[in-house]
Amino acid sequence: MSVSERISTLTNNIKTFTVHAWNFVFNHNVSPLRHIPDVGVRHYVLQILGLMWAVSFSIAIGSYTFLAISILGHSILIAAAAITVATFTVAAKRPKVFMRGAGRRSDGEHE
């Protein structure tokens, strides 16, 4: 196996690992949190886990300044992921919710 083939294989393995790790944490169909039926509760649990990790990393680094930034950053990222999951869930189960006020009357004409 040539060096370029080894590098290509290693790169593919790293990409695959990263995708699987991301899905395990943030994909509601893969994560163990998928067993929680309520999306709001799932989001809350993910927020608590994000807070735990933010505190853990800031303690490990030893900076309370970093704690506030880390908590804020984790909250924003987790909230964005949760909003995305909730939107996808509603779109899959009730797509007509997104059609309210789409600019057309019931007879198809513009208002």
Strand segments (E) across 27-109:
none
CB 37 within 8 A of CB 64: no
Q: Which residues pair with 110 in a beta bridge?
A: 104
Strand segments (E) across the chain:
none
3-class DSSP string for 18-39: HHHHHHHHHCCCCCHHHHCCCH
pLDDT tens per residue across span 25-63 = 777 778 888 888 887 788 788 888 888 888 887 777 776
Asked whether residue 106 is domain-assigned, the answer is no
Question: Residue 72's pLDDT is what?
Answer: 86
Question: Residue 104's pLDDT is what?
Answer: 59
CB 68 within 8 A of CB 74: no
Q: What confidence tier does 108 reach under pLDDT thresholds 50, 70, 90?
A: low
Same-domain status, 59 and 83: yes
Q: What confidence tier does 7 reach under pLDDT thresholds 50, 70, 90?
A: confident
Same-domain status, 48 and 87: yes
pLDDT tens per residue across span 81-104 = 888 888 878 777 877 776 665 555
Instruction: Count CA atoms within 13 Å of residue 64 on its CB side.
Output: 0
Question: Residue 98's pLDDT is what?
Answer: 63
Same-domain status, 26 and 42: no
Max Cα-Cα span within the chain = 66
pLDDT of 105 strictly over 70: no
Question: Residue 109's pLDDT is what?
Answer: 64
pLDDT of 76 strictly over 80: yes
**Which of 50, 57, 55 is closest to 25 using CA atoms?**
50
Same-domain status, 48 and 77: yes
Same-domain status, 56 and 22: no
Show the domain range for 10.
1-35
Same-domain status, 21 and 42: no
Same-domain status, 29 and 67: no
